Amino acid sequence: MKRLLVLATSVQLLRVHNIATHALSTETYASQKFASNHRHRHLPTSHPAAFALNARSNNHHDSNKRGRIPLMASHHDEILDSSSSANANNASTLASTPLAFIHEPSTPKSQKLRSRLLKSLRDVSLRYSMIEPNDRIMICISGGKDSATLLHLFLHLQKKLSKINTNFELVAVHLNQVQPGYDNTSLVAWLESLKVPYRIVTEDTYSIVTEKTPEGKAYCSMCSRLRRGILYTIAHELECNKIALGHHGDDAMETLLLNMVHGGTTKGMPARYYSETRDVHMIRPLITCLEKDIAAFAKEMAFPILPCNLCGSQEDLHRGKAKLLCDAMETMNPNARKNVITAMGNIKPSHLLDENLRVACGLDGTTGSVVDDDRALLIGEKKIDTTTRKEPDGNIEASERSFEKNNGLEMHTPSSFIENLL
């Protein structure tokens, strides 16, 4: 009897071994098959999925693309060609290591986080008319959690709006700053998996920043200016009328604190502004989102994150200290960050010390008393009197007046473009 049991056990073990061997062989074959099929699929200058944009300019027309604008092969572009030794290694790595990406929230936590972030993005987009019909928006992909989250949310919003025939175009642009150890393999694979038009731009700003920045000073300022100039140029080449940045509410709050402490000015980050010299609109759709929500969502979605060897290599930066200050605020009130972000859009000039701001808002510069009812009403310094009163003709009407009938002033009316999604 014992011999029979031993024999049966041996047969079972042999079967398990055969199954495992077959599975391993199948996986190896699948990996080789993926390598064969995808070895050249990540070339952003030629693959239609990498840059399938309708041609708008004869200067960039390529007859081989059937009227589509290719990635312009200039000194800016990183052409991932497997014929070169360095990029051949990247291609081989990408091909031999199939990457699986998450495109839709699969857990209750990730679904809740996306809903919260989407609500903030929709609210601020409506408030500042960030998304309008026929827009061509360039999404700046830094390789961090913020820009990856921004692209994900915009793609989701684009899909929703397309159902009601309200369309806008998106182009993802990533700047390779030639940092030591830079490897964009996972990022390129992610962008391809999204089937979003994208462009990889190569400019050695790393050497310039490290060489020109005085010792002990932060790299961020010069790095930001250089990157912004390059992005302006690329936006014009791609004929984008808006550039979307991934700055969030914590960035705006920290900038406000730094400007107050070091510059003596109450200045944060605008949600939207227009560059007259570059003729392009800059938008920050995540400006009211909390960084902790973005970080949690990026972790849940396993976005590919590229390390930064510039700001990430410096310690004891002032922005880091501003973060600590924000943390300290939350010991007073757990909602401190959210409240400060809200406060930046809820200003009361009568309780500040800027006389010119008071005058511009219809207040007396010295006393803060209301001088211009209409202007004071616009900024909330004077409340609307909703009590009923009797007009000369005997009709009883509310005392609220139409802004269009008072010196041409009217309250800002947000675009109705995405109202139906709120």
Tens digits of residue pLDDT in 216-272: 777 777 888 899 999 999 999 999 999 999 999 999 999 999 999 999 999 999 999
Q: Which two tokens stand for residue 329?
A: 């605020």
Distance CA 175, CA 199 (A): 9
More confidently predicted of 158 and 387: 158
Cα–Cα distances in angstroms (integers) from residue 113 to residues 148, 153, 288, 293, in the given order: 14, 11, 14, 7
Distance CA 394, CA 368 (A): 36
Residue 419 has pLDDT above 80, yes or no: no
What is the pLDDT, as a whole number, of residue 13?
A: 47
- Tens digit of each residue's pLDDT (9 = 90 or more) over 315-325: 657 888 999 99
- Tens digit of each residue's pLDDT (9 = 90 or more) over 111-148: 999 999 999 999 999 999 999 989 999 999 999 999 99
Distance CA 399, CA 197 (A): 53
What is the pLDDT, as a whole number, of residue 139?
A: 98
Distance CA 243, CA 240 (A): 7
Q: How confident is the model at residue 307 (pLDDT cuts 50, 70, 90)?
A: confident
Residue 365 has pLDDT above 70, yes or no: yes
Cα–Cα distances in angstroms (integers) from residue 191 to residues 148, 151, 172, 295, in the given order: 10, 10, 8, 19
Residue 72 has pLDDT above 80, yes or no: no
What's the mean pLDDT in 393-422? 47
- Tens digit of each residue's pLDDT (9 = 90 or more) over 19-42: 444 443 433 333 333 333 333 333
Which of 1-10, 92-101, 164-173, 279-288 is the least confident region? 1-10
Distance CA 406, CA 375 (A): 10
Which of 13-17, 105-109, 240-244, 264-268 is the least confident region? 13-17
Cα–Cα distances in angstroms (integers) from residue 135 to residues 189, 272, 331, in the given order: 26, 15, 42
What is the pLDDT, as a whole number, of residue 56?
A: 36
Which of 163-167, 187-191, 234-238, 288-292 is the least confident region? 163-167
- Tens digit of each residue's pLDDT (9 = 90 or more) over 191-213: 999 999 999 999 998 888 888 88
Percent of the chain with pLDDT over 70: 65
Instruction: Work out the angle between the directed axes of helices 318-332 and 249-258 (0-180°, nearest 10).
Output: 110
Q: Which residue matches tokens 């009217």? A: 410
| H helix runs in 163-201, sequence order | 185-194
What's the mean pLDDT in 309-331? 81
What is the pLDDT, as a whole number, of residue 11?
A: 44
Q: Which two tokens stand for residue 420?
A: 């139906």
Residue 83 has pLDDT above 50, yes or no: no
Q: Share the mean pLDDT of the chain.
A: 76
Q: How confident is the model at residue 162 (pLDDT cuts 50, 70, 90)?
A: confident
Distance CA 77, CA 234 (A): 10
Q: With contact defined as beta carbons under 8 Å apart, do 363 and 350 qualify?
A: yes
What is the pLDDT, as a whole number, of residue 172?
A: 97
What is the pLDDT, as a whole number, of residue 27?
A: 37
Q: Which two tokens stand for residue 272?
A: 């939207």
Q: Which two tokens stand for residue 237?
A: 């080449």
What is the pLDDT, as a whole number, of residue 396?
A: 46
More confidently predicted of 85 and 281: 281
Which of 59-63, 295-299, 372-376, 408-412 is the least confident region? 59-63
Q: At 355, which helix (H) or strand (E)?
A: helix 355-360
Q: Is the Cα dihedral 286, 289, 295, 298 positive or negative?
A: negative
What is the pLDDT, as a whole number, of residue 316?
A: 57
Distance CA 183, CA 369 (A): 60
What is the pLDDT, as a whole number, of residue 206?
A: 86
SS (H, E, C) 12-56: HHHHHHHHHHHHHHHHHHHHHHHHHHHCCCCCCCCCCCCCCEECC
Residues in the chain, how many? 422
pTM (predicted TM-score): 0.71
